[in-house]
Structure 1
Amino acid sequence: MWLISRKERLLTTGLVVLLLIGDLAGCSAPVRAPVVSREQPSSQPQRSSRPTVYRVQKGDTLYSIAWRFGIDYRSVASWNGIRSPYIIYPGQRLRLTRPVQKRVAKSATVKTPQTKGAATKKKPVVSVKQVSQSAKKKVSSSQSKGKIVNNSSELRWLWPTDGTVVQRFVKGDPVKKGVKIKGRYGASVKAAETGKVVYAGSGLIGYGRLVIIKHNKNYLSAYGHNKKIHVKEGDTVKKGRRIAEMGNDGNGKPMLHFEIRRNGAPVDPLKLLPRRP
Structure 2
Amino acid sequence: MTKTSHYFLLLLAAVSLAACTSTVVRKPAQADRPPAARPGTPPPPAGSVAVVKRGDTLYGIAFRNGLDVREVAAWNGIGPPYTIYPGQRLRLSPRAGARATPSTTAGATPRRAVSPGTSAGTGPRTPAATAGSPASATPRPTRPPATQGTTPPLPTPPAQPVASNFDWRWPAQGSLLNRFVAGEPTRQGIDIGGESGAPVQAAADGVVVYSGSGLVGYGELIIVKHNDAWLSAYGHNRARLVNEGAIVKAGQQIAVMGRTGAPREMLHFEIRHNGRPVDPMLYLPRR
- TM exceeding 0.5: yes
> Is the helix fraction higher in 1 or 2?
1
Unaligned stretches of 5+ residues in structure 1: 1-16, 104-145
Q: Deviations over 1:202-239 (max 9, x none)?
A: 11111111000000111100000111111110111010
Corresponding residue number in structure 1 for 2:276: 265
Q: Deviations over 1:35-70 (max 9, x none)?
A: 76xxxx996479996371111111111110000011
Residue 206 of structure 1 aligns to which amino acid in structure 2?
Answer: G
Residue 225 in structure 1 maps to residue 236 in structure 2: yes
For residue 101 of structure 1, report the CA deviation from its aligned partner. Answer: 3.0
Q: What value does the CA root-mean-square deviation take over the aligned residues?
A: 3.5
Whole-angstrom distance in 1 between the partners of 2:36 and 2:95:
21
Q: Which moves more between the two structures, 50-59 or 90-99? A: 50-59
Say if 2:205 and 2:248, in contact at 8 Å, map to a contact too.
yes
Instruction: Report the secondary structure of 1:248's partner residue.
Output: coil
Evaluate the alpha carbon distance shift between residue 251 and residue 199 of structure 1 in structure 2; reply closer, same or farther with a 3 A threshold. Answer: closer
Higher-Rg structure is 1
For residue 34 of structure 1, report the CA deviation from its aligned partner. Answer: 3.5
Whole-angstrom distance in 1 between the partners of 2:222 and 2:86:
20
Residue 68 in structure 1 maps to residue 64 in structure 2: yes
Corresponding residue number in structure 2 for 1:253: 264
Whole-angstrom distance in 2 between the partners of 1:248 and 1:234:
25
Corresponding residue number in structure 2 for 1:82: 78
Q: TM-score, normalised by structure 2?
A: 0.64
Residue 214 in structure 1 maps to residue 210 in structure 2: no
Whole-angstrom distance in 2 between the partners of 1:46 and 1:161:
31
Say if 1:152 and 1:218, in contact at 8 Å, map to a contact too.
no
Whole-angstrom distance in 1 between the partners of 2:35 and 2:260:
29
Identity, % of aligned positions: 50
Q: TM-score, normalised by structure 1?
A: 0.67
Instruction: Report the secondary structure of 1:223's partner residue.
Output: strand
Whole-angstrom distance in 2 between the partners of 1:213 and 1:189:
13
Aligned pairs, number: 210
Residue 85 of structure 2 aligns to which amino acid in structure 1?
Answer: Y
Whole-angstrom distance in 2 between the partners of 1:76 and 1:262:
15
Evaluate the alpha carbon distance shift between residue 249 and residue 229 of structure 1 in structure 2; reply closer, same or farther with a 3 A threshold. Answer: closer
Whole-angstrom distance in 2 between the partners of 1:153 and 1:46:
35
Q: Deviations over 1:237-264 (max 9, x none)?
A: 0100000000114454111110111111
